[in-house]
Each structure stands twice: as structure tokens, then as C-alpha cells.
Amino acid sequence: MARPTMTGRSAVVVGASAVAAVASAVAFSPGADAATLTLKHTGTITTHLKTLNQDLVFPTSEVTKVDANTFAVSSTITPGTARGSIDLGGVIRVVTMQVAILPDGPATGQTTFNPDGSGGNLTVTQKLKIQIQRVEPIGIKEINLVPNTCISSKPASLNLTAPIGLDDEGALNIFGPINLKGTLDIPAFANCGLLLTPLLNAIASGPGNDVTIALGAAA
């Protein structure tokens, strides 16, 4: 995404504060090269499955590299698994699923700056697949109804955005907590078994699944 054009004093203030923040961070980052800042976060990925009206919460860690010259971003996430269930009448557990996110390469994007000096925005795109690792009937963990090939049939593109505020000194706060949001269209699943594939597609795939990635302050 191209950086917005800025004119006048606001451009000078925002540009100078952003460059100062990144430059000083690079200078004091052990092992960092002259043009790259490395940030490490931990947090959660919450995916709201629209068809089931249910949240899946994945623990995650990530490593982000920021180009100090262009403010381009490349982020590698390492998510854990999440478990969810389908209950009958909210009482009887019919099935429990264990789900994994399979990133297809790093997330890439750009940091841009607000012309009025109020902060900026982070925009990234992550390609990924979804794997259903386990389907356990009536909560019996010893039984798994799906093979390890039960994966979405093609990668999905998840576009995420997050505001970036200013720190106490008025510089762009690239170290603070980040709250990315987007919407995921989950492709159809394949190779889940003759009977389970259409069933899982009916309840777990489809458009309009809200995603929130909440990351703590950078380490």
C-alpha cells in the first residue's frame, strides 16, 4: 500500500517522529542490521465462525521485521491450535473439533502515517490454510473421525489492519500492543472423509468470519 502524501508541518512532525522511533529502536536492538528492526510479540488469534456463531481462540507468537527506510513489514506467525464444540441445546456435546492455522508464507504489508500527525496504520495480508486436525464424537478424545489430510482446498487471503498510536513523546509507538482486525473467507475443505467432508463444509467453511489478532507489547 502506498504511503499517503503529507504536506506542511504535519508531514515533518509525523515523518520525523516515525524515523526517530525506528532509528533509535534499530540502534538499540541487539544484532539488528542497519536497516531492519525486529519485533517479537505473543498474543491470541480469535476467529469467529459465522455459521456456528462460535469463537476459536489460537495462542500465537510472531516475529515482525520492519524496514527502517520504507516501513514495509514482514511478519511470521506461529499459531497454536484451538478447540471448539458443537452442542445440542447447549447441553449435550455432539462433537469437539481441534483446528490449526497453517500460514502460507509470512504476512506482508506496510506502515502508513496519518497526515494530521495523529498516528498511523498497519496493513498486512496473510495467506493461510485451515486444518481440522480432530473431530471427536460426544467428547471422546480417544476417537478421531478425520485423517490428517483434512485441510482447506486452497489458501485464503486474510487482510488485516490496526491503528498505531503515539507514545508519550509523540513518536509513532511501534512497540505498543497491536490489535489487528479483518474478515476471513474460509474455503471448502477437502480430503476429510467421504461423509465428513460435506458436513464440515456446511458448518465450518464460508465467508464473513471475523478475525482479531491481539498482540501484547513487543519484546
The residue length of the chain stands at 219
- What per-residue confidence (pLDDT) applies to 91? 62
- What per-residue confidence (pLDDT) applies to 172? 78
Please state, in angstroms and rounded to a whole number, the distance separating the CA atoms of residues 11 and 6: 5
DSSP-derived secondary structure letter, 173: -
- What per-residue confidence (pLDDT) applies to 28? 35
Beta strands in the chain (DSSP E): 36-49, 54-67, 72-79, 81-88, 92-103, 107-113, 120-137, 151-152, 156-164, 178-186, 189-190, 206-215
In 5-72, which residue ranges form alpha helices assigned H by DSSP? 8-27
- What per-residue confidence (pLDDT) applies to 34? 56
This prediction's pTM: 0.82
- What per-residue confidence (pLDDT) applies to 1? 35
Please state, in angstroms and rounded to a whole number, the distance separating the CA atoms of residues 120 and 176: 13
In 81-218, which residue ranges form alpha helices assigned H by DSSP? 196-204
- What per-residue confidence (pLDDT) applies to 68? 86
Report, in angstroms and rounded to the nearest whole number, the Rg of the chain calculated over CA atoms: 20
- What per-residue confidence (pLDDT) applies to 20? 36
Q: Which residues of the chain have pLDDT under 70?
A: 1-34, 88-92
